[in-house]
Structure formats: C-alpha cells, structure tokens
Amino acid sequence: MGNVGEERVGSWWVHAQQEVWLERHLVSCRPGVLRQLFLEVFVLFCEVQEPKKSVPPPKTSAAAQLDELMAQLSEMHSKVSVTADASRKPSPDKQDHTASLDSMLGGLEQELQDLGIATVPKGHCASCEKPIAGKVIHALGQSWHPEHFICNHCKEEIGSSPFFERNGLAYCSKDYHHLFSPRCAYCAAPILDKVLTAMDQTWHPEHFFCSHCGEVFGAEGFHEKDKKPYCRKDFLAMFSPKCGGCNRPDCFSSFSSGSFFELDGRPFCELHYHQRRGTLCYGCGQPITGRCISAMGHKFHPEHFVCAFCLTQLSKGIFREQNNKTYCQLCFTKLFPQ
C-alpha cells in the first residue's frame, strides 16, 4: 500500500509540474492552433513516467511523437513569425511576437530536457544561432531554421524554393534578376534567358530588330546609323549614296576580285562606275569597255545596236528613228510608209 501511495503522490507531482509548465506557455502563445499543439504535448507528457535523477529514461514512442510535434511547431512558427510589410520591415508587434515565440521554443526544449526527454539538435541556425530541433535547411554551407532562411532583399522566406547566391547572400529568383541580371536596351526589363550583345548594349534576342521596318535581323547582320540598328535593305535605301540616273542606292558589294574603280575619290564596282560615267550599254545594261556606238543620247555595244523590228545589227551606223527606237531602212519603210 505504501508503494502504491508513493506512486500516486509521485504521479500527482509530475502532473502538477506539467500543468504549471503548460499554463505558463499557453499564456504566451497567441495563435489558437499552437494552443492545440501544446494540449497534445500535455497529453504526451502524461504518458511519460517520472524521470530518475541518476539515469535518463529511454526514449519512448511518446517522446518520438513529441519530436514530431516539435517539428510541426517549428513549421507553424515559420508561418507566423516572418512577414514583410509595405516597407519590407516587420512591424514592432510582429517582432515582439516572433521574439516571444523564439523564447517559447527555447524554453520548451530546455524543460523537455529537465523532464528527461532528450532532444537532439540538428545543428545551430546561422541566423539566430539557436539549436535546430525541427525541420532544417542546409544552404550556403550552413544550417538554418526554415523561417530564418530568407531573401536578403525582400526578407521573404525562401524555404525549398530555388534561390541565387551573390557574395555569400541568398536571394529569391525575382529579386536576384531584378537587382543583378543584365537589362534589355529596348524594354529595360531583366534578361532571364538568352542575351544578345550588340552596339555595346544587351538585348532580348526578340527585341533587337531594324529601327525602320521592325524585322529581326537574320544571318546578314545589321548596319548602324546614329546608334540605331537597320537591316541591310533599309540602310541602303535610306543612307547609301544614290545613283544620279536611277536614284537607287549603290550596291556596297565587297571587291572580291581585289580591284575597284575610283571616281571622285571613292571606290566603286565596275557596274556602278560605268553607271556614274554614263558608259552602260542602253541595250543590255552592262558596262562598255571597248568600242561603242553613240546614238539618240545613249551608248551601245556595237552588237546591241539593232533594228527594233527585225533585230538586224545596224553595223554601218545607218538607221531611222521613230518613237525613240531604231529601225533599219527596209523595216522603217514598211512600218511607216509616207
């Protein structure tokens, strides 16, 4: 009977200590959902026997469940402790609540150890330097409470989301690109994927196009004028020298043969050189480099100076003219009788 009485007295003492511990923490715990978690912790405490001072009790299934509740508590902590306001700085009330919750978690761990329930930390948080009992994030070569691994710019919790590192600091994807990615010279937005570099600037590939027609440049490249890019067609049409006869731009072809023609101190290909000098055949449009026939204000290769009707070569230079066309005497007589 004496042993039974002692057991009941000891049990009552343990429950009394647990009630005092529970009441103290329930007062400082604001979120209703955390109250429910502490009630579950209290039920688990009731299943744990009074600890012996000499030898710590073995870890029971109740203690294992308690570890799981600790992890849930840490996760709940992460959802209520770190939220940014419009100025990206937490309000004083939220700071006080976060500090209170951190203190409560630390006190819970200490009192669990006092009751003989071992809690094995998973490292120390690189932010708050406190032991990590629940979920842990390993990043940047350190360990973190999930709620303390946050973006260095917006202070939002990163969690298991992708992040970028710069100078040893973590950034969420949005802020990293906003702060550090190259920007498009056309739209000024960050370039997240492929980047095109031209004219000492960076561009989205789809935003580097002709300033006149708006077409994206192909394999032929682009021409620059007044710090604006143009396709070859528009550049020649708008800015290249024009032929005095046809008002079309010169061709800007490379001198693949290694030779060129000079006129007024400028280089020309053979075609445009003769075009500028007026020595293109009126019949075929090609340069005249040998003998030529001048008639009706034009120049002809001898073999291209022919009757407009029978196409017979007017080799002797004798012809009749009608409507700016040349005819031999026979065809002219037949076509235009007097």
User: In terms of DSSP bridges, do strands 298-300 and 196-198 run parallel, antiparallel, or are they unpaired?
Assistant: unpaired
> What are the structural domains of the chain?
2-51+58-122 (no CATH), 196-239 (2.10.110.10), 242-278 (no CATH), 290-335 (2.10.110.10)
Separation between Cα atoms, residue 231 and residue 214, nearest integer Å = 9
Separation between Cα atoms, residue 250 and residue 270, nearest integer Å = 11
Separation between Cα atoms, residue 114 and residue 103, nearest integer Å = 16
Separation between Cα atoms, residue 18 and residue 3, nearest integer Å = 23
Neighbours of 206 (CB within 10 A): 12
The type of residue at 150 is I
171 to each of 79, 91, 163, 175, 331, how far by Cα in Å?
19, 22, 6, 6, 90
Decide: 107 and 25 in contact? Cβ < 8 Å.
yes
Separation between Cα atoms, residue 317 and residue 292, nearest integer Å = 11
Decide: 84 and 156 in contact? Cβ < 8 Å.
yes
The type of residue at 76 is M
Cα–Cα nearest to 80, from 24, 124, 129, 34: 34
Per-residue pLDDT tens, the chain, 338 aa: give them.
444 444 444 444 444 455 554 455 544 444 454 555 555 554 444 444 444 444 444 545 555 555 666 666 666 555 544 444 444 454 555 555 555 666 666 666 666 666 665 556 668 888 888 888 778 888 888 888 888 888 989 988 887 788 888 888 899 988 888 888 899 999 988 988 888 999 989 999 999 999 999 999 988 889 898 889 999 888 878 887 665 545 666 555 555 565 666 666 667 777 777 777 778 888 888 888 888 888 888 888 888 889 989 988 887 768 888 888 889 988 988 888 87
